[in-house]
Amino acid sequence: MATEQPFDALIIGSGVGGLSVGIILARLYPRVAVIERNTLPGGLMRSYTRDGVDCPVGVHYFGAFGEGQPLRRMFDFMGVEVAAERMGGGGPIDRYLFDDFAFDLPEGIDALADALEAAFPDDRRPIAAIIGNLRAVADLQNSLSFLSSAMPPLFDMDLFSPLAVYLAKLNCSPRLRSVLCVASRWMGLSEQDCPVIYHHLALTSYLLSAWRLRGGGTDLAEAFSSRFTGLGGSLLCNDAAAAILIDGREVAGVRLASGRVLRGTRVVAAVHPKTVLAMLPEGAVKPRQARRIRGLVETEGLFAANVSVDARTHPALPHNIYRLQTDREGWISAGLFYQLRAGGEGRNLLMMITRSPFSEWRRWEDTTTGRRGVEYEKEKIRRAEGMLGKAEEIFGSLADGKIIDAYTPLTLRDWVNSPEGSPYGIMRSVGQLPAAAALHRLPLDGLFFAGQNALAPGIVGTVLGSFQTVRQIMGHESFDRRVFAGLFAGKGKSSK
Ligand SMILES: Cc1cc2nc3c(=O)[nH]c(=O)nc-3n(C[C@H](O)[C@H](O)[C@H](O)COP(=O)(O)OP(=O)(O)OC[C@H]3O[C@@H](n4cnc5c(N)ncnc54)[C@H](O)[C@@H]3O)c2cc1C
């Protein structure tokens, strides 16, 4: 078995991060493999079906997918085609409901400026400052200059301070604060932890345009995996990467759980860094580095419940709803996310998500999905019913609603091997930015990181991170010529 021909690149993990690296590399090199421990590829992209309704897991909505916008450019370059519908429908993309006021987040930075000025007339100065920043970040995003050698350095140190500090410095009113803080939650970060640059990137990507999948996450996962195999890539499912093989200070291949050995001097780990550490031989990483990785704080867990509702009484909404609680200063203390989307056959799907730290589920830590027992199932139902009760305050009677599924941090942990079921991987807080950046400086030639832990979480952040990883692999000059230029050359489907 060890005599197999070496691969040009071995990628561990078939989420959106691993498969996008796989596709870009398969366009450039003949022998590329993606290794996946699950029977089906796709990681968090993949949805599942309950009661005939498609239930999303990690893709509820995503930004910047309009023609010529950054995510669409990257999909076009990869040749991944997916049916998506634009959210908003002329109205808001998100509705934020606070205890004593509501705010509709519109599409577009100009529209946001108008909406903020109308809602908070006494906050003109902070609004002008923030809108100016958002425009600058949107320009960076649109030009994809994060990926180019021509990227202007980010000198504004405010961009790396916590959002809460920045908003306090701008002297925003508590209500303006509350509205602006929501976007940091999209990456599992509180406003105290979230670096301003991440907040601005997330917010601008949705302001450029907000989308949700028309089919479902399974279609998305299939679009990625079939494009990869169509380019000649080898998709090896149902066999986990067990060890990364090292020769001196260089990567030499991957040993799978089955014992199969794949040779290759480039290994891309599109999985959680803590699991990568466990795959490396003792001593491959200095004890200080290992401690730093092990000590990385995870994003807080989520609890989600899916409810099938009557489509006539609860038609699909073109926007999401956030029900939020804040303290007197305007900082967010609790929240619930809702999306009501088409489900088919007279039923719609109401998705409800809220925070739920891993510690709340520690009792069942040593169990596996499907075998956690009656008490666990009861606890899920209890929580889902509680959420459904709260949802009635917004959607009216949901007596006809049927809870078709609920999942916890343990479910996510077991599905994608994410420690503590962290939904967005390691927390990209201001405090952890240096440790996160250090991941890319491990002293092993040929080992690269991709996936949501490499640059930023979310579909946009993860795919952007995949391109950056390929840039590290190829070298800047070659990347600029062979990949970056192609991002502005139109669809890549026909070419290899
Ligand atoms: C509930 C939830 C809702 C979300 N909603 C949104 C949203 O609306 N919009 C948005 O943009 N983002 C959203 N996200 C975030 C987004 O889904 C993720 O950032 C993104 O999908 C991460 O992709 P990834 O490739 O890094 O990881 P994953 O999708 O987790 O893929 C990692 C893959 O690696 C595999 N793997 C792990 N260990 C091994 C091993 N040893 N060997 C082989 N394979 C291995 C796993 O099985 C998995 O398939 C959400 C996330 C969650 C959890």
In a domain, 146, yes or no: yes
Say yes or no: CB of residue 43 within 6 Å of ligand 1.
Answer: yes
With vertex at residue 391, the alpha carbon angle to CA 385 and CA 396, rounded to the nearest 5 degrees, is 115
- My answer on whether 307 and 402 are in the same domain is yes
Q: Which residues contact 15 (CB under 8 A, 6 or more apart)?
A: 42, 43, 44, 45, 270, 416, 451, 452, 462
One domain for residues 306 and 400 = yes
Q: Is residue 277 part of a domain?
A: yes
Q: What does residue 37 show for φ and ψ, rounded to 5 degrees?
A: -75, -30
What is the CATH number for 23?
A: 3.50.50.60
Which of 184, 207, 230 is the endpoint of a domain? 207
Cβ 465 under 6 angstroms from ligand 1: no
Q: Ligand 1 test: best mutation among 276, 416, 428, 453, most atoms within 8 Å of CB?
A: 416
- Whether 413 is in a domain gets the answer no
Contact between residue 208 and residue 141 where contact means Cβ atoms under 8 Å apart: yes
Query: How many of the other CB atoms lie within 10 Å of CB of 90?
Result: 8
Indicate if 218 and 282 belong to the same structural domain: yes
Asked if residue 417 has its Cβ within 6 Å of ligand 1, the reply is yes
Number of folded domains in the chain?
A: 3
202 domain residue, yes or no: yes
Beta carbon of 206 within 6 Å of any ligand 1 atom: no
The reply to whether 126 and 264 lie within a common domain is no
- pLDDT at site 344: 83
Residue 420: inside a domain, yes or no?
A: no
pLDDT at position 260 is 97
Q: Is residue 263 part of a domain?
A: yes
Ligand 1 centroid, distance to 411 Cα (angstroms): 12
Q: Are residues 289 and 431 in the same domain?
A: yes
Instruction: Kindly state if the Cβ of 305 falls inside 6 Å of ligand 1.
Output: no
From 182, 207, 232, the end of a domain falls on 207
Boundaries of domain holding 344: 302-355+357-407
DSSP 394-429: HH---TT-EEEEEE-HHHHHHHH--GGG-TTSB---
* pLDDT reported for residue 233: 98
Is there a single domain that holds both residue 391 and residue 325?
A: yes
Same-domain pairing of 308 and 248:
no
Is there an atom of ligand 1 within 6 Å of 140 CB? no
CA of 477 to the centre of ligand 1 (A): 30
Q: Are 87 and 210 in contact (CB under 8 A)?
A: yes
Walk across the sheet containing 94-97 and list its strands. 102-105, 94-97, 320-326, 332-344, 347-355, 302-310, 402-407
Cα-to-centroid distance, 161 and ligand 1 (Å): 27
* Separation CA 73–CA 45 (nearest Å): 19
Atom of ligand 1 nearest to the CA of 304: 1
Residues of the chain predicted below pLDDT 70:
1-3, 151-155, 490-496
- The answer as to whether 90 is a domain residue is no
Q: What six digits make up the tokens of 16?
A: 């959106």
Question: Is 349 within 8 Å of 55 (Cβ atoms)?
Answer: yes
Q: Do residue 403 and residue 319 come from a single domain?
A: yes
**Same domain, yes or no: 133 and 194:** yes
Tell me, in angstroms, the distance from the centre of ligand 1 to residue 14's CA: 9
Of 207, 230, 260, which residue constitutes the final position of a domain?
207
Same domain, 185 and 333: no
221-256 pLDDT per residue, tens: 999 999 999 999 999 999 999 999 999 999 999 999
Q: Are residues 154 and 227 in the same domain?
A: no
Is 98 inside a domain boundary?
no
Residue 493 is predicted with a pLDDT of 45
Query: Are 222 and 290 contained in the same domain?
Result: yes
- Residue 212 token pair: 């949700």
| 8 Å CB contact between 351 and 56 | yes
For Cα atoms 27, 6, 492, give the angle at the middle one, nearest 5 degrees.
5
